[in-house]
Structure 1
Amino acid sequence: MENFIVSARKYRPDTFQTVVGQASITSTLKNAIKNRQLAHAYLFCGPRGVGKTTCARIFAKTINCQNLTAEVEPCNECESCQAFNSNRSYNIHELDAASNNSVDDIRNLTDQVRIPPQIGHYSIYIIDEVHMLSQAAFNAFLKTLEEPPKHAIFILATTEKHKIIPTILSRCQIFDFNRIKVSDIAGHLGYVAKSEAVEIESEALNVVAQKADGAMRDALSIFDQIVSFSGKSITYKDVISNLNVLDYDYYFRLIDLFLKNDIPGSLMLFNEILDHGFDGHHFISGLSTHIRDLLVCKDPITVQLLEVGGEIKEKYKTQAVACEQEFLFGALGISNECDMQYKASQNKRLLIELNLIKMAQLTLKKK
């Protein structure tokens, strides 16, 4: 039986060009290599799953490549690149600070730093989750970071920059990695699906991308989960069923009921949502997001802020035309207030029902 490789590993970027959603950082790193303006220490920080460690590895590989391409990418043919690809490079060293965070671990590292590289010009030390180092380990690392040998480059990666002492921060070039946009994640998932001969609807891709919350690794893990559930043909319904996501259709129906001042219909629809096992807080939060999305559709300038695609985007535009701005502002204020009061409420269902009644009466006042 063939070994299964998860998509997050199988499609892990191996060149700057294949890194998704971090163009400003990759172009800066490429220019540093091209112009030979390499700092001795870099700090890559940002949320999980956005490409910090991946970029550190690509950067390390490219620095020592002996035949860089015209686009400043590794050639994958020279001895240095081949050694890196087969995990036998003596020039690139990785340390996981989560499990190697003592003074002795750092002293072993600093002893190793003195040894010049066998192939290439630089020895690169990647320290992942660097915020996990103990205070004593940070102090032991300071001197080496301040005055390293010419052949040593340190790349530190962390999800919690605020935990790193200022004396370390001041010695590094700091790169802040952003959460990846929904459109970029959906586009990359589409490429992965095509490579794996998986048919998936564009609306389904958008749901997965939104669920990932800006982390590509999470998006690929969710994609693998959906493929296991649905096979090689994935629909929007499959995704919302597997991920327990509330269907957009409920919110579209609810807004239509509000516009008709249909209070009984609104309450019955909310009851149907609860019967499907959805949490009330999750529902009211989703309703706020839906009303916000209708608001951004009211203006051609802000419509680009809508992070959905395909048929659902057209449904938003159609419903936005039917809603007056005054109604949307009022409904958004009510749903937001309900969201804030939810945790403190003793009768959570009644709280949401009262707010649904208020929203259903917003257009009644004008009549």
Structure 2
Amino acid sequence: MSESPQPYRVLARKYRPQTFAELIGQDAMVTTLGNAIKRDRLAHAFLLTGVRGVGKTSTARLIAKALNCIGPDGQGGPTITPCGVCEPCVAIAEGRHIDVVEMDAASHTGVDDVREIIEAVRYAAVSARYKVYIVDEVHMLSKNAFNALLKTLEEPPPHVKFLFATTEVNKVPVTVLSRCQRFDLRRIPAETLAAHFDRVARAEGVTAEPEALALVARAAEGSARDGLSILDQAIAHADMEGSHGVTAGQVRDMLGLSDRGAIRRLFGHLLSGDAPATLAALREQHDLGVDPVGVLRALLETVHGVTLAKVGGGDDPALSIEEREALADWASRLGFAALHRLWQLLLKGHDETVRAALPIESAEMALLRVIHAAQLPDPGELMKRLANGEAMAAPAAMPAHDPAPQAPAQRLPVDFPAMISLLANNGKAHMAQQLHDYIGLIRYAPPELAIRPAKPMASEFNRDLAAALKTITGEIWEVSSPDGPAEPTLLEQERMEENRARDAILAAPLVKAAFDAFPEAELVEWKRAG
């Protein structure tokens, strides 16, 4: 008679770590525990914190194994590398050891549940070295239950160990925290998760594209369990499609993610101010089943990626070569002010779309607002232009099929900031940003300009600047970089002004009194509505 087939076990359970070596992304904690075991300096209570799926309960079971392992010969002691074959190790792994008690605090929240533990700890372990109590989601215990546990938790019998796990450590009373040795399990990096999912896929006999695994790892948000659940679904999806492996396209379809290339094209339309192309690209994603909120979130991720590329942040290994090149190109052409404004506008549009009764319409309006705002001067430049009495009316955009007319000559700007604004408003935004951020003024006497770069600039920068100013103003400019003291860059001046304003606020008697009364308070930026 043939044996009945074993029921299928989901990947998250099948590949739960059985040793500390298999626990990914938590090396610091493993090292600390290993040293504590070697030196016989084990705490009586441990608190494991972290987001869902990073290995809190698995770690608690591994600690229970480490404390109770007796080795293959039955003569071993506590070890950071439990054998996995002795009776305590096998029984703990299968969840049937009589001296290792697991309790879910979400369904056992009351004093009576805790009282059972308090009564039981008085008795020695039946067959193990230590009696171990694993309490999952411990923050769910009631206040009275925590109070009942305090005395036992502070002075437990030497044969008892408490292992608490929680996703919301802020809800655990300080009196409990002070009695536990705390380990904060970190979110697992996306590249580490992708490598782990690759090993799992190979063990399952499934081929998977690296980009598909990167998408799964990104969607997991640092959780190994969430990622394995997504991978499980992706493998099933691939089988249903008759494919021999998991592809990036299938994962995107399954998760309702937008195509990264489509998002780059949409972002390009947004930057160029092409409203019809932007709306068409958004509708195309919507017709493919991508949530408008997901599109706006992807655009936010793109802005964030461009900003990191601009400040020299490390490359994301989950990005393709095309994505990295696109981010680097945008970073070279966009200034920080423009990026910050893009972020704020898209973030506002994202929040509105989340709550909107008409999500796709809300997303369209949000993107149109971004395009419209990009044509307006920066608030700081606007104030300077008003103060200088410059005209605010911008020339209407020419139709795409009409040839661009020769730019009319304009009167010379009254000062250096006005000159920068003039460049920005005449298609030289990148040059204007460089002047604002990296150039100190020595002398401004139009059409003569003497400047000092605060960082190395291209050798032809002065020549290109003079040519741009000649095209816009109709005057021949002389741009030089002689020796001599220069003013701080406009960016540095703005920062100094912000610091002075902040210092003035902090020096106010009322603010000082507030900080004295609330030492942990901090000064945050406040903007008037409207």
Other structure's SS at 2:284 match:
helix
Other structure's SS at 1:93 match:
strand
Q: Deviations over 1:200-251 (max 9, x none)?
A: 1111111111111111111011111111111241111010011100110112
Give the counterpart of 1:244 among 233, 250, 256: 256
Counterpart for residue 41 of structure 1: 45
**Cα distance in structure 1, aligned partners of 2:266 and 2:298:** 12
Counterpart for residue 54 of structure 1: 58
Other structure's SS at 2:314 match:
helix
Q: Would the aligned equivalents of 2:137 and 2:165 in 1 still touch at CA under 8 Å?
A: yes
Give the counterpart of 1:280 among 268, 292, 309: 292
For structure 1, which segment, 167-176 or 4-13, has the greater mean C-alpha deviation from structure 2 after superposition? Answer: 167-176
**Cα distance in structure 2, aligned partners of 1:53 and 1:289:** 32
For structure 1, which segment, 315-324 or 205-214, has the greater mean C-alpha deviation from structure 2 after superposition? Answer: 315-324
RMSD: 2.6
Q: 1:111 to 1:251 in 2, by over 3 A?
A: same
**Cα distance in structure 1, aligned partners of 2:148 and 2:324:** 59
Counterpart for residue 308 of structure 1: 318
Q: Would the aligned equivalents of 2:69 and 2:78 in 1 still touch at CA under 8 Å?
A: no
Letter in 2 for 1:155: L
**Cα distance in structure 1, aligned partners of 2:203 and 2:331:** 44
TM-score, normalised with respect to structure 1: 0.90
Structure 1 residue 107, shift from structure 2 partner: 1.1
For structure 1, which segment, 85-94 or 282-291, has the greater mean C-alpha deviation from structure 2 after superposition? Answer: 85-94
Counterpart for residue 324 of structure 2: 317
Letter in 1 for 2:12: A
Counterpart for residue 200 of structure 2: 192
For structure 1, which segment, 100-109 or 54-63, has the greater mean C-alpha deviation from structure 2 after superposition? Answer: 100-109
Structure 1 residue 303, shift from structure 2 partner: 2.5
Q: Deviations over 1:300-346 (max 9, x none)?
A: x5123x2514xx1x112322343254526314522432322554588
Q: 1:357 to 1:226 in 2, by over 3 A?
A: farther
**Cα distance in structure 1, aligned partners of 2:308 and 2:9:** 40
Letter in 1 for 2:192: D
Give the counterpart of 1:291 among 277, 281, 303: 303
Structure 1 residue 352, shift from structure 2 partner: 1.7
For structure 1, which segment, 35-44 or 87-96, has the greater mean C-alpha deviation from structure 2 after superposition? Answer: 87-96
Q: 1:278 to 1:201 in 2, by over 3 A?
A: same
Q: 1:257 to 1:341 in 2, by over 3 A?
A: closer
Counterpart for residue 283 of structure 2: 271
Counterpart for residue 132 of structure 2: 124
**Cα distance in structure 2, aligned partners of 1:19 and 1:46:** 14
Q: 1:238 to 1:357 in 2, by over 3 A?
A: farther
Counterpart for residue 117 of structure 2: 109
Q: Would the aligned equivalents of 1:295 and 1:325 in 2 still touch at CA under 8 Å?
A: no
Other structure's SS at 2:334 match:
helix
Query: Is structure 2 residue 68 aligned with structure 1 residue 64?
Result: yes
Letter in 2 for 1:156: F
Q: How does 1:1-367 map to 2 (within 5 A)?
A: 1-67=5-71, 72-231=80-239, 232-257=244-269, 262-298=274-310, 301-304=312-315, 306-309=316-319, 312=320, 314-327=321-334, 329=336, 330-344=338-352, 348=362, 349-356=364-371, 358=373, 365-366=427-428
Q: Deviations over 1:41-69 (max 9, x none)?
A: 11111111110010000011111112369
Q: Would the aligned equivalents of 2:49 and 2:184 in 1 still touch at CA under 8 Å?
A: yes
Task: Tell me: higher relative CO, structure 1 or 2? Use CA pairs within 8 A at least 6 residues apart.
Answer: 1
Gaps of 5+ in 2: 377-423, 430-530
Structure (1 or 2) with the larger CA radius of gyration: 2
Gaps of 5+ in 1: none
Structure 1 residue 298, shift from structure 2 partner: 4.5
Q: Deviations over 1:161-208 (max 9, x none)?
A: 111111111111111112111111111111100000111111111111
Structure 1 residue 18, shift from structure 2 partner: 0.3
For structure 1, which segment, 324-333 or 7-16, has the greater mean C-alpha deviation from structure 2 after superposition? Answer: 324-333
Q: Would the aligned equivalents of 1:124 and 1:154 in 2 still touch at CA under 8 Å?
A: yes
State percent identity of aligned pairs. 36
